[in-house]
Amino acid sequence: MLRQAYLSFRDLLSVLIASSLLLALVGYATDQAVGLFEISVGSVVVLMLSFYLLFGSGSVFFDIVFANAITIYLCFFTFFIESLFSDVGQIFLSVGFILPLAAFLLGICLRRHKIKEIVTSGQADSDADFARSFLWLLPIAAIGISAFVVHQGTTFEQDQLNYIFLGEMGLIGFVVFLASKDFALLLMDTGIIFSNLFSKNVNLIKPAFAFFTFYSMNIVIFAAIYRIVDHLSATQNFLVQGTARDLSFVESLYFSLVTISTLGYGDILPISNGIRFIVGMQSFLGTMLFFFGVHAILTHKKN
């Protein structure tokens, strides 16, 4: 019994680390706009530990879905701030970000017995109807749209802007509080679907890794070819940002990746006929490898 609890906590700890890294990545990327790096990481830790204490260990897949939901919230929050509230004070930004998350946590704490009853009875699908759960997003969207309408051509004093922002985030938090049970059950159902999807497709890992191996081999081999031809050729073969010069090996890797994926950004261009022929070969081989690789993955059967 003790060992089972230890394993459960160890799994939770590993997921907490992975989820914190995910929030840290998005938090750092948005830090210049909203400055919520530490708060966003701390929020996912507090919320996931709270779920662990309220409902047991849960599952790795639920924790991943939960962490991803918070990253999506952070992305929308950043868009909201950059579009309308770029002048709001940092303290108000932090409080505004926390309000809906705190409302969600308060809501599931107050409704934890109902949530447990639904989950243990196996009626989560009927009670937390998928469409109804998303209907709760309509009033949240209405608050956001009204904010855009109100702010068009309107100038507010600093104090007014701060409190208007807090008021709108408070309204969103109130809706989240009312919908907390449905949101929690939706996240749990999504975690179960994620788990089932993974368990059904775990046998695809080996062919997917084999495909990745061949794909990466193609990238590296052709990158080496580009670099060697460039080194041995007396003429320039590539135009880099408008300048004809030799590629470094890192640039060769980048060009090889762009070529096999058919992205064609245009920052590096082949200008000699020999290199163009090699580029055509890689593009053709990459396309064939992609189709055969996808076919092999989809038709693979576990022995």
pLDDT in tens, 145-202: 888 888 776 777 888 889 999 999 999 999 999 999 888 888 877 777 766 766 666 6
For the segment 128-136, the average pLDDT, to the nearest whole number, is 66
Residue 79 domain flag: yes
pLDDT computed for residue 45 by the predictor: 85
Is it the case that residue 129 has pLDDT exceeding 70? no
Measured in whole angstroms, the distance separating CA 223 from the mean position of its chain's CA atoms is 30
Q: Are residues 50 and 151 in the same domain?
A: yes
Q: Is this prediction's pTM over 0.75?
A: no
Q: Are residues 83 and 217 in the same domain?
A: no
Residue 202's region, left for phi above 0, alpha for psi from -120 to 50, else beta, is alpha
Residue 95 domain flag: yes
Q: Are residues 12 and 130 in the same domain?
A: yes
Range of the domain at 276: 204-299
Among 43, 149, 147, CA closest to 88: 147
Q: Are residues 15 and 98 in the same domain?
A: yes
pLDDT computed for residue 159 by the predictor: 87
Q: Are residues 155 and 219 in the same domain?
A: no
Q: How many CB atoms lie within 10 A of CB 206?
A: 12
Residue 100 domain flag: yes
Q: Are residues 109 and 213 in the same domain?
A: no
Q: Are residues 16 and 130 in the same domain?
A: yes
pLDDT computed for residue 4 by the predictor: 38
pLDDT computed for residue 147 by the predictor: 86
Residue 185 domain flag: no
pLDDT computed for residue 92 by the predictor: 93
Q: Are residues 127 and 17 in the same domain?
A: yes
Residue 258 domain flag: yes
Percent share of the chain, pLDDT over 70? 82
Round the average pLDDT of the chain to a whole number and report it.
Answer: 81
Residue 186 domain flag: no
For the segment 192-218, the average pLDDT, to the nearest whole number, is 74
Residue 275 domain flag: yes
Q: When comparing pLDDT for 87 and 92, which is higher?
A: 92
Residue 285 domain flag: yes
pLDDT computed for residue 6 by the predictor: 39
Most confident stretch, 46-50, 173-177, 183-187, 209-213:
173-177
Among 22, 148, 11, CA closest to 84: 148
Q: Are residues 17 and 158 in the same domain?
A: yes
The full 3-state SS of 157-171, as one line of letters, equals: CHHHHHHHHHHHHHH
Q: Name the residue type at position 31.
A: D
Between the alpha carbon of residue 9 and those of residues 3, 109, 141, 198, 291, the distances in Å are: 10, 21, 37, 22, 42
Decide: residue 32, CB within 10 A, 0-12 exposed, 13-18 middle, 19+ buried.
exposed
Residue 248's region, left for phi above 0, alpha for psi from -120 to 50, else beta, is beta
Total structural domains within the chain: 2
Q: Are residues 165 and 242 in the same domain?
A: no
